[in-house]
Structure 1
Amino acid sequence: MPSIDDGPPHHRHTSKDDMTEVESAHRERAIARDRMAMDPPIDTLVGLLASQAVSAPDREFLRFAEGSWTFGEVDDWTSRLARRLVAEDGVSAGDRVAIMLPNVVQWPIAWLAILKAGGVAVPVNSSYQRADLEFVLRDSGARVIFTDAAHTPLVAEVRAANGDLEDVRIVEAASRGELDQYPADRPMVVVSGDTLANLQYTSGTTGFPKACMLTHDYWTRLGWVCANAADLGPDDVVLTSQPFSYMDPQWNTSLCLTIGAPLVVLPRFSASGFMADVRRHRATFCYVLGSMPTLLFKQPPAPEDRDNDLRLVLCSAIPVALHAELEQRWGAPWREIFGMTETGADLVSLPENTADVGSGRLGQPVPTKQVRVVDPEGREVAEGESGELITSGKPMMLGYWNRPEDTARVLRDGWLHTGDVAVREADSYRLVGRIKDMVRRGGENIASAEVERVLERDDAVVATAVVGVSDELFGEEVKAFVQLAPGVEESRATAERIIDGARNQLARFKVPRYVEFVADFPRTPSERVSKPALKARAAEHPGTTYDLRPSRTDGN
């Protein structure tokens, strides 16, 4: 693999053949950029899998710790499972089916089988606790949930405690051999690009988690855009380590279905082992986000760092000060890609855009998107001035599930309002902040209101306000300002008891690390807590802040 520091051009001899190769590479890149603007030739995930199963049935598709499966094997397995869902579980077109599994092969198998049955997948974070799971099952209306033995007791507890959820059917993840009695051809269900594929939960712009309605076209178009932006093909190897319930392993799956390449899925992200896995699997492409680049860079340098096959790393929020050093250390370009669950991909810095390195720029709009920076009245601001980043085009969610008011607030006149504050610089964009009342911890969007709701269930708590505070590793950490009921002692023991109660109801990344007790809250005229005033007051007159950081393993 060519390294970044091959030396200045005058130190190298360039032959006519070399020039031909360079010109050919430039032509290929131009063609790839042009293809980004085109509609993908196949507009359903089901169709992509069927096409690869015919054209390359023996080519490797999924590689997990427990084994490897070809396109043909995955097509057979998912068709039989889809038949089982229809015959045994009564799944029909439009039915929602939840998936609560860790990173095992049954996750993408369940996803693709649900889609073949005409159902709608509802990914559930496998670290969710009771409150999280209750909310998602009730809000989505899921009739069936795929899970495993480790999570079945939690699902059973939720069903038993909630009469409206008692009929949710539990399907334990099965091996391929357990489905031999079902036909190997998929159900005769009409699926098109406009067919709803996922209810993908996100904290959105404000408030409780909302489900983005994502179609087959959304996923196939996202895979198509990323494949051409990164110039990937069947000889590449894609690697992911995020939980499969997140967006990233799912669009990586669509990407690999598009290009006919294998997807390597690690059980979890481990900063100490990640690059060893990249080398072992000969990965050529990966996507990282949040605190992952910093965690990777903090690992001790090793002589074999550049001994890898990486051609490109895409990242969201590359640390500006580390950008050039990340490229130098591992010998591959790192480039920004910007998008949201609602929008897929909006901006991307292409591999050849070396001027973006260390600039914080997000690149240019993908050809199927339009991007603007506007003031609160929707007027475009001048270059160099800050405003809200808004975007339109495809891919794009249909809207939020069962939330027309939230959809109308975010999608206005064909433009999605991201809640991010950006600056336009020439033909690129740079983020400078966020409008939304969110905490963004290590790539996770955490709705403050959701955490506040759980904390306020405690009898000792009158009211809370959850904010993000700066953190070197995760970008932000979760801090809770807590007003206690009269007579409750303001102590570390009280803080620990309240947070311990939240641990049983919230995913680990949502649990506040810091607690500060307050006598009251500054409020707006509409009686909402004024968080800017609260932060200012805490900075000017800081109270006792309890750091309740739990012991954590590498990468968490």
Structure 2
Amino acid sequence: MLLTQALHTAAQLYPEHPATLCHGRERTYRQALQRVARLAAGLRNHGLEEGGRIAILALNSDRYQEGLLACWWAGGVVNPVNIRWSAGEITYSLEDSGARVLIVDDQHLPLLSQVLASLRHPPLLVYAGEGATPSGMLGFEALIAESAPIADAGAGGESLAVILYTGGTTGRPKGVMLSHGNLLSGVLMRLADLPPVAGRVGLSVAPLFHIAGLASAYARILTGASNIYLPLFDALQVLETVQRERANEILLVPTMLQALLDHPRFAEFDLSSLERVLYGASPISAALLDRAVAGLPSAGFVHLYGLTENGGQISANPPCNHKADGGLSRSVGRPTLGQWVRIVDEQGHEVPRNTVGELIARGPSVMQGYWNRPEDTAATLRDGWLYTGDAAYMDDSGHLFVVDRIKDMIISGGENIYSAEVENVLARHPAVALCAVIGVPHDAWGEAVYAVVTLKPGRQTDAEGLIRHCREALAAYKCPKSIEFRESLPLSGAGKILKRDLREPYWQSVRQGASA
């Protein structure tokens, strides 16, 4: 199970079909294969060894796709860096993964000096931007032009393919290890349930450092489809691109979907080419989903549910369940082919249908573990089962409904945010005695980061000051959107903050509305 096999097959069966469209460039699968083989050669010529780590800090582009494939062609392991991270967070992922090559674009050049200043082992820098190659860096296009193609290293199966960093309960991001087999089987299981659309033109706006964006883009390579890349989500650009390129498929998080529908020019565009809209990564309101289905009548809507730790997908809710009556559209669907799913109690025993418990999953896409985190791995992978931390139930027909999260993860605008990471930063402020971070309902983002803080006696600060403090260490999306000051926080007998008591008033009205 080689990830590069998809490129070999696409170049053999669809050599003149566009592989990528980006910045006015169109490259066929025949051209893509040659460029990937040459780029892999260039990386090997500059010291990349099999199993070596390559980090990519860039916006979505055709070069990003080529960088992924070239890394695997050379037998390497990719660390797709979160573009919304601060310099310190980026540095941590590079050090932790042991990245020896960093591919960077124009957008992120200004961060390089901060990142490099803290690295003990500065990586080889490869410039993948649109301008002249800066001093001290290798040019992406020059590496391709100057290198003779090499044979595919043939890395596959259980060989590590990617380290995807996600939030950590200890305050540091955790590197999810996915093998070639994990990624490829996850995509194949999705395609078994959701065969590719006939038009074979997909628009990639979900970031490639997320498993959802990465898996969706790879699925198109696997089926010989075209990936149209936009660097960042912009509602007007998406509308224009769908109409101009007659895109058939798109993956959106709910905030993106809402932005499209809210755009004042939405009705002006012909979006009838869209046959499939994939959505997921964060909660979606019933009102937004109903509005989207009505606004894009030609498209079949598919809800994808999964985790980075499971290759991005556990279940899929197909278009046939997205009807006006709204019943099964609230489900995350049934387990995809090859996935084993159970709902269990705290002792790991399976519970009866329609009973809420923790959703656990097993299958070939489940991660190998967390990079350098044996204790976290043991807590999450038990007897071959992935414990998701999501509270859910399965109805009598096998449909899954996720009702809450057992872990303290917050999903805001499709981004995973772990409360402990934010709390660790807040706790470093000299005025903070105790703090708790929770997710509260938000109409646009699904959830918003909300902090409850008690101050040390005699110390003073305000919400704006604490938010500024957080922004110095964290990406903006992780910082609290609002802060409440209290005299005390609810504690258990063991002295643990009872976050469920803090969350309850905010989510009670949401649950009442859902059951009405």
What TM-score bracket applies, with the shorter chain setting the length?
0.7 to 0.9
Distance change in 2, residues 1:150/1:276 (3 Å):
closer
Report how far residue 172 of structure 1 moved.
2.1
- Matches of 1:356 and 1:364 in 2, distance apart? 20
Tell me the TM-score normalised to structure 2 length.
0.88
Count of matched residue positions in the alignment of Structure 1 and Structure 2: 491
Which residue number in structure 1 is paired with residue 79 of structure 2? 122
Report how far residue 500 of structure 1 moved.
1.9
Which residue number in structure 1 is paired with residue 411 of structure 2? 440
Which residue number in structure 2 is paired with residue 168 of structure 1? 123
Distance change in 2, residues 1:301/1:457 (3 Å):
same
Q: Is contact 2:452–2:483 with CA below 8 Å preserved after alignment?
A: yes
Which residue number in structure 2 is paired with residue 510 of structure 1? 478
Report how far residue 357 of structure 1 moved.
6.4
Q: Does 1:191 align with 2:155?
A: yes
Which residue number in structure 2 is paired with residue 76 of structure 1? 34
**Which amino acid is 2:33 matched to?**
D
- Matches of 1:320 and 1:205 in 2, distance apart? 30
Q: Does 1:142 align with 2:112?
A: no
Equivalent residue in structure 2 for 1:428, among 377, 399, 412: 399
Q: Is contact 1:206–1:438 with CA below 8 Å preserved after alignment?
A: no
Equivalent residue in structure 1 for 2:287, among 283, 303, 321: 321
Q: Is contact 1:469–1:478 with CA below 8 Å preserved after alignment?
A: yes
Which residue number in structure 2 is paired with residue 51 of structure 1? 9
Q: Does 1:219 align with 2:183?
A: yes
Report how far residue 384 of structure 1 moved.
1.6
**Which amino acid is 1:70 matched to?**
T
Which residue number in structure 2 is paired with residue 341 of structure 1? 308
Structure 2 unaligned residues grouped into runs of 5+ = 129-138, 508-516
Specify the SS of the correspondent of 1:45: coil
Which residue number in structure 2 is paired with residue 65 of structure 1? 23
Distance change in 2, residues 1:530/1:325 (3 Å):
closer
Q: Is contact 2:168–2:174 with CA below 8 Å preserved after alignment?
A: yes
Which residue number in structure 2 is paired with residue 104 of structure 1? 61
- Matches of 1:453 and 1:204 in 2, distance apart? 11
Q: What percentage of aligned pairs have identical amino acids?
A: 34
Question: 60-69 or 411-420: which moved more?
Answer: 60-69
Report how far residue 305 of structure 1 moved.
5.6
Distance change in 2, residues 1:177/1:136 (3 Å):
closer
Which residue number in structure 1 is paired with residue 447 of structure 2? 476
Q: Does 1:528 align with 2:472?
A: no
Report how far residue 401 of structure 1 moved.
1.0
Question: 78-87 or 200-209: which moved more?
Answer: 200-209
Question: 477-486 or 350-359: which moved more?
Answer: 350-359
Q: Is contact 2:40–2:149 with CA below 8 Å preserved after alignment?
A: no
Q: Is contact 1:290–1:441 with CA below 8 Å preserved after alignment?
A: no
Tell me the TM-score normalised to structure 1 length.
0.82
Specify the SS of the correspondent of 1:342: helix
- Matches of 1:152 and 1:307 in 2, distance apart? 36
Equivalent residue in structure 2 for 1:488, among 459, 477, 480: 459
- Matches of 1:149 and 1:531 in 2, distance apart? 42
Q: Is contact 1:233–1:260 with CA below 8 Å preserved after alignment?
A: no
Report how far residue 107 of structure 1 moved.
1.5
Which residue number in structure 2 is paired with residue 29 of structure 1? none
Q: Is contact 1:236–1:284 with CA below 8 Å preserved after alignment?
A: yes
Which residue number in structure 2 is paired with residue 450 of structure 1? 421
Q: Does 1:377 align with 2:347?
A: yes
Distance change in 2, residues 1:205/1:290 (3 Å):
farther
Structure 1 unaligned residues grouped into runs of 5+ = 1-42, 540-556
Larger radius of gyration between Structure 1 and Structure 2: 1
Distance change in 2, residues 1:333/1:52 (3 Å):
closer
Specify the SS of the correspondent of 1:418: strand
Distance change in 2, residues 1:141/1:486 (3 Å):
farther
Distance change in 2, residues 1:105/1:436 (3 Å):
same
Equivalent residue in structure 2 for 1:266, among 230, 233, 256: 230
- Matches of 1:176 and 1:526 in 2, distance apart? 59
- Matches of 1:205 and 1:394 in 2, distance apart? 25
Report how far residue 275 of structure 1 moved.
3.0
Report how far residue 176 of structure 1 moved.
2.9
Q: Is contact 2:170–2:421 with CA below 8 Å preserved after alignment?
A: no
- Matches of 1:71 and 1:472 in 2, distance apart? 42
